[in-house]
Amino acid sequence: MHTNLVLWSVWQDRPRFGFRSAANFTGKVEFVPKRRVCKQVTMQRRGSSSRSHGRLRCAENDLAWYARARTVFYNTLSRRKEPFETSSADGVVRFYSCGPTVYDYAHIGNFRAFLTYDLVKRWLMFCGYKVRHVMNITDVDDKIIQRSQREQRRAEDITRQFAAEFFQDLKALNIIPADAYPCATAHIDDMADLVRELLSRGFAYKLGDSVYYSVERFARYGTLARINFESLLSSNGEEEDAGPHTALKRDPRDFVLWKGHKPDDGDVKWDTPIGCGRPGWHTECAAMAMKYLGSSVDIHAGGSDLVFPHHENEIAQCEAVTGTMFARFWIHNGFVNINGEKMSKSLGNYITLRDLVRDPLDARAFRYAVITSLYRMPLNFTDDTLGAAATTLRRLDLFRKSIIDLERSEASTPGQKADQGLRASCEAYLRDFCDHMADDLNTARAAAVIFEALRHFEALRRDARLRPADASLILGMLREMDRVFGVFYEPELAHLSETSEPSSTGIPPEVLELARLRADARARRDFAMADKLREQLRLYGFAVRDTAQGPEITRLS
């Protein structure tokens, strides 16, 4: 994939051009000015003439309108499927999705979300829409500060490292780049301006050096999550992005917009008109979404765990300022479970792309396994998941290669025309594929159509009833379907074979993180979890011994 990005460095005040790999990533990615959308393609094989035997009658634009007219998405806001159309006068779909917090390698649960965004975008582009997609990069956060202090490294060095790795992972999974990847640290002024506006309108109040949102002032609060707040508050759950004055809030539902600086934050702070400190997580997305896409977006996407409080809090901030609906469609993907158990870094059972992918087929198989699952449902990832997907892809690859070989043999049969019945079959399979994809991205049924077509054409091939001219039609059909699935590609995996950057102690950061999680588990007397984490450390080649001074990590001989 080639992108044409302009980067503005967060830590260097100069523009950079020609971003071709994640190794160049230094900060805020501003804009991709060009994208190929709905180019007139008649499903004609490369190098063929315009004679009719190499084409399908349902040209791309016709297919796009067919798909667009039928597209419905499940909207979390309404809890039902709704027909989708962009609301913008220019016809561009404005699409915002929540990006990574770059304090560590992203895990496969994160990539389910990013692959879901990619699927949404590919389908919209297939439907002929132009899509302006913005995904934030969270590079200021409690976890980043904690890792910085634990490893005695600068926060910006940590975020630069893992942002670069993240972009390489996206490339390995054939994910189409967003148009902008704004970093939180590059938009502090925008966030401070949003907080000042909320204060001036009476939707926020100060507590010490911090600022909180006053939920009781926003009547529509809770319309997305539909939560019983009395039950929620009685559970005494820990607030994910709690501020320093949580106990003094006017209303337990109030959330922090700006965190006043405290000694634990070290040098992670900004001096602004609202005080010295840093933004709350919910404020980051709200400010950047409005800056890049305006007061209202067509689609906002994220994991189902973000519905509350994150997305609810975004709505409260944006609509309090603009008075208009912030997002028309909310699309949320389900969790990834590992062998039936919820995957979580706190549980120590998370899997990164580096743990999973050993060769190009693994990367493609992971993509296939994720995108052919129903995106709103939980995905149970087991030891067999990747292998089953790889087997499926091998069959697809073999079939595709056999059809390519058949097409190349056309030189021995010049002037041959494609079978009209086969042409009709290809068009019917494409329509069926579109019907299922248009139904809230039902990729499982769309994949079933691909294999129904494969079995049909394999049978014709075995009976010697396929001719070289027919191969162009079949390949054209597969190309159209793969514009959505994106599984026929050559992954770039060099970065996955590189060793992790060691810490100042010579121990890889992920090993230190596992040791820290194990110490936390022991502190809360969860010895079963501590034993699991000890075994994971052994898999990395390290042993841990508990001493009076704390855990001692040694490399296994």
Domain residue extents for the chain:
73-232+241-356, 383-485, 509-555
Q: Which of 70-79, 161-170, 401-410 has the lowest mean pLDDT?
A: 401-410
Per-residue DSSP letters for 464-523? T---HHHHHHHHHHHHHHHHHH--SS----GGGGSPPPP-TTSS-HHHHHHHHHHHHHHH
Contact (Cβ atoms closer than 8 angstroms) between residue 126 and residue 535: no
**73-232+241-356 topology per CATH:** Rossmann fold (3.40.50)
Which pairing describes strands 80-83 and 72-75: parallel, antiparallel, or unpaired? Answer: antiparallel
Contact (Cβ atoms closer than 8 angstroms) between residue 356 and residue 362: yes
Whether pLDDT at 172 is above 50: yes
d(CA 7, CA 29): 5
pTM strictly above 0.85: no
pLDDT of residue 534: 82
| 3-class DSSP assignment, residue 370 | helix
The string of pLDDT tens digits covering residues 192-227 is 999 999 999 999 999 999 999 999 999 999 999 998
**How many C-beta neighbours within 10 Å does residue 340 have?**
9
Q: How far is CA 493 from the centre of its chain?
A: 19
The string of pLDDT tens digits covering residues 86-124 is 998 899 999 999 999 999 999 999 999 999 999 999 999
d(CA 117, CA 224): 20
Mean pLDDT of 445-471: 94
541 vs 19, residue with greater confidence: 541
The DSSP letter of residue 69 is H
- Mean residue pLDDT of the chain comes to 84
CA end-to-end span of the chain, whole Å?
42
Whether pLDDT at 522 is above 70: yes
Mean pLDDT of 463-476: 92
d(CA 539, CA 314): 41
73-232+241-356 and 383-485 share one fold: no
User: For residue 145, what pLDDT band results from cuts at 50, 70 and 90?
Assistant: very high
Contact (Cβ atoms closer than 8 angstroms) between residue 163 and residue 99: no
Phi/psi at 33 (nearest 5 deg)? -75, -15
Tokens of 27: 């900060």
- Interhelix angle 60-70/108-126, rounded to 10 degrees, is 120
User: For residue 557, what pLDDT band results from cuts at 50, 70 and 90?
Assistant: low
Phi/psi at 364 (nearest 5 deg)? -65, -40
Whether pLDDT at 499 is above 50: no
pLDDT of residue 234: 53
Q: Break the chain down into helix, strand, coil percent, rounded to 5.
A: 45, 15, 35
The share of the chain scoring above pLDDT 70, in percent, equals: 82
Whether pLDDT at 490 is above 60: yes
**383-485 topology per CATH:** Four Helix Bundle (Hemerythrin (Met), subunit A) (1.20.120)
d(CA 465, CA 474): 13
User: For residue 229, what pLDDT band results from cuts at 50, 70 and 90?
Assistant: confident
